[in-house]
Chain A
Amino acid sequence: MQDPAHHGVVVEPSVPGSPAIEVRDLHKTYKLGEIQVHALRGISLAVEAGEFVAIMGMSGSGKSTFMNLIGCLDRPTRGTYCLDGRDVSRVSKRDRSRIRNQKIGFVFQGFNLLPRTSALENAELPLLYAGVGRKQRIERASEVLRAVGLAGRERHHPSQLSGGQQQRVAIARALINNPSILLADEPTGNLDSRTSVEIMEIFQRLNQERRLTILLVTHEEDIARYAHRMVTFRDGRVQRDTPVADRSLAARILPTLGAADVEAAEEENHEGA
């Protein structure tokens, strides 16, 4: 349906020097029958390319609405949103899906992998909609799976992978189109603490090595501490926006957690597979 050449026209390359994300006075109002719900009441925020930002807040604070807008899944009622220097707050539905395909990687709490489908095919999914040929899809999917430490598991189905491995497949899927930003919505919510640190290690590595901009929604303070910066939402407004002092480094924390139970988990998983 969509050819890659066409994408180049619609999704323009980033404007150099501008922030990866820049929102100004963002409002979102839902109508629930007669009642108007003000989910966002004027958010202004800039995220530089290569930043790793944790978004925090209680449920109902507006952080999910904000992430939907940043992810181009929805349009703001008022205000502007510039992604890579381009105003995307008013683009059509069709163009939004192209932007999501080319510029945004999504990681979800529940992994959202296709069941009974190999890791490779899960990872290559966005390329299917970018009109990339089969051979190149397999090549790039293998490459991103290697980058998240899943080399050799390309043929495994989600049911044959541990939760952490499934989330890594999801991260590989998010990375495959070399997005400008990675949006992670409570990516560690379904994982145990050690696996959570492993995922944070991947995020920090990608952030550092590829200068990947990451927005991470979490309600766990210690997960948020892996980011550069913490933004707290409350009642549809930014309540607090502070740099993380004494940032956690997953690469250093991991060895202290001991490797014994990891191997046990791997063994178990092999038997299961």
Chain B
Amino acid sequence: MGLISILRVAVLALARNKMRSVLTMLGIIIGVAAVICSVAVGAGASSQIQQQIANLGDNMIWVEAGGRSVNGVRTGSKGTKTLLLLDAKAIQQQIPAITNISPHVDTPTQVVYGNQNWYTTVRGVSPEYLAVRRWAVERGSSFFQEDVDHAASVCLLGHTVMENLFGTEDPIGKTIRVRNLPCQVIGILTAKGQSPSGQDQDDFFLMPFTTVQKKIKGIDWLDDIMLSAATPAAIRPIEREITALLRERHHLRADEEDDFNLRHPAEIAQAGAESQRIMTILLASIASVSLIVGGIGIMNIMLVSVTERTREIGLRLAVGAGEMDVQMQFLGEATVLSALGGGVGVGVGILASNVISSTLRWPVLVPWGALVVAVIFSAIVGVFFGYYPAHKAAHLDPIDALRYE
């Protein structure tokens, strides 16, 4: 018998017992749908976390001015005045595999425009900051190195600041007051929304760091240095090099603590991604168990079917079916059942994923590769669990089988 005949005979046999076939398939349908749902929910969560990591910055390394102990009294972080622009320049010149670097000086401040005012944070940075933290300019333009050199009074507003000061008015070219400094708005940053911890990421504005240093804070040191590594793998070595370099530049003895901190915001998010990935694997493996239970259901029904159709098998053997023909017939039935169940299960899985996504507002992502794997895997389940019943059928003695009551 050719493959087409085998499949035809299998489908006809299954069609003779529609209700039973559907119920048998149900196990596989539920199994496949469960696998697809859990993978889809996992992939959705994973892509959300990846998005959040990307929002944090481009392989970002964050050097923060550290705490200091004065006569046993310790300041908090940023208590030191030792982190300087020259440190930033030294890092840029001496450590390879850094793509962008920006000094960072920040302070909370009141800003005023017309009769509106808002309490927010000003961040003094270089133009490279936008690349390091992955900010984009929505309207207007960024400032340039020239503005940094001249300590120009220009600023880029975060979305929240713009909304609170200007409402619907066009802010580009307008002058706001930062403390007593008049400052021209030259651009608006694209909104990032809330951070994973619920903070408003758009409630700040940017100015050249020289302007903040000289005209607002009146300092000559830096609060932070932010930089991007060329690759995620380069982050660790770069951190080690920065530590060595800064300790040397700050003349720290071996027994002294660092007067700076290295922060890893992406690392925390990575850990979150990892635990989420483990959760997905766990969910998918539980769902896979139901697929195997579905397979056992198929084996059960096939065994019943073989017993029930003993006379049919006897007859087929009598009129010339070989062992292989009978084996293939029952294997075909099991495989068609499970593959069909797998196909329907994929549909149900996609449907259920969409329902989850729209009712629970979870991010859901159906990975298309998983669908193909699910159908193939369920067909394999069919072959595996169909083999024993088919083998049993094929090795019946035709004489006994024909006489079976």
| Chain A residues packing against B (C-beta within 8 Å) | 1-2, 68, 71, 73-74, 93-94, 97-98, 100-102, 106, 108, 110, 112, 114-117, 121, 125-126, 128-131, 173, 177
Contact call B318/A129, Cβ cutoff below 8 A? no
Is B312 part of the binding interface, using a Cβ–Cβ cutoff of 8 Å?
A: yes
Closest to A157 in B: B16
Q: Knowing A128-B5, A129-B1 touch, does A1 contact B325 (C-beta < 8 A)? A: yes
Give the residue of B1, B2, B16, B320 whose beta carbon is less than 8 angstroms from that of A98.
B320
Residues of chain A within 8 A of B324, CB atoms compared: 1
Is B328 part of the binding interface, using a Cβ–Cβ cutoff of 8 Å?
A: yes
Residues of chain B within 8 A of A98, CB atoms compared: 320, 322
B308 to chain A, nearest CB (A): 10
B381 to chain A, nearest CB (A): 25
Residues of chain B within 8 A of A130, CB atoms compared: 320
Contact call A73/B320, Cβ cutoff below 8 A? no
Q: In the complex, which residues 234-282 of chain B have their Cβ closer than 8 Å to any Cβ of chain A?
A: none
A-B contact pairs, 17 of them (CB 8 A): A1-B2, A1-B324, A1-B325, A1-B328, A73-B399, A97-B317, A101-B319, A101-B320, A106-B318, A108-B315, A112-B315, A112-B402, A121-B12, A125-B315, A128-B9, A128-B321, A130-B320
Q: State in angstroms the CA–CA spacing of A100 and B314 once bound together.
A: 13
Contact call B16/A117, Cβ cutoff below 8 A? yes
Contact call A100/B320, Cβ cutoff below 8 A? yes
Contact call A106/B319, Cβ cutoff below 8 A? yes
Q: Knowing A114-B312, A116-B16, A117-B16 touch, does A125 contact B399 (C-beta < 8 A)? A: no
Q: State in angstroms the CA–CA spacing of A166 and B399 once bound together.
A: 21
A155 to chain B, nearest CB (A): 14
Is B316 part of the binding interface, using a Cβ–Cβ cutoff of 8 Å?
A: yes
Residues of chain B within 8 A of A110, CB atoms compared: 311
Closest to A185 in B: B402
Q: State in angstroms the CA–CA spacing of A117 and B84 once bound together.
A: 90
Closest to B16 in A: A116
Contact call B325/A129, Cβ cutoff below 8 A? yes
Q: State in angstroms the CA–CA spacing of A171 and B316 once bound together.
A: 15
Give the residue of B2, B319, B398, B402 whose beta carbon is less than 8 angstroms from that of A126.
B319
B344 to chain A, nearest CB (A): 23
A3 to chain B, nearest CB (A): 10
Is B202 part of the binding interface, using a Cβ–Cβ cutoff of 8 Å?
A: no
Q: State in angstroms the CA–CA spacing of A94 and B323 once bound together.
A: 8
Give the residue of A68, A73, A97, A116 whose beta carbon is less than 8 angstroms from that of B322.
A97
Q: State in angstroms the CA–CA spacing of A64 and B373 once bound together.
A: 52
Residues of chain A within 8 A of B398, CB atoms compared: 73
Q: State in angstroms the CA–CA spacing of A102 and B402 once bound together.
A: 19
Contact call A126/B320, Cβ cutoff below 8 A? yes
Give the residue of A93, A106, A121, A177 whose beta carbon is less than 8 angstroms from that of B323.
A93
Residues of chain A within 8 A of B312, CB atoms compared: 112, 114
Residues of chain A within 8 A of B402, CB atoms compared: 108, 112
Contact call A129/B323, Cβ cutoff below 8 A? no
Residues of chain B within 8 A of A94, CB atoms compared: 322-323
A229 to chain B, nearest CB (A): 25
Residues of chain B within 8 A of A71, CB atoms compared: 318
Q: In the complex, which residues 312-342 of chain B have their Cβ closer than 8 Å to any Cβ of chain A?
A: 312, 314-325, 328
Q: State in angstroms the CA–CA spacing of A117 and B312 once bound together.
A: 12
Residues of chain B within 8 A of A125, CB atoms compared: 315-316, 319
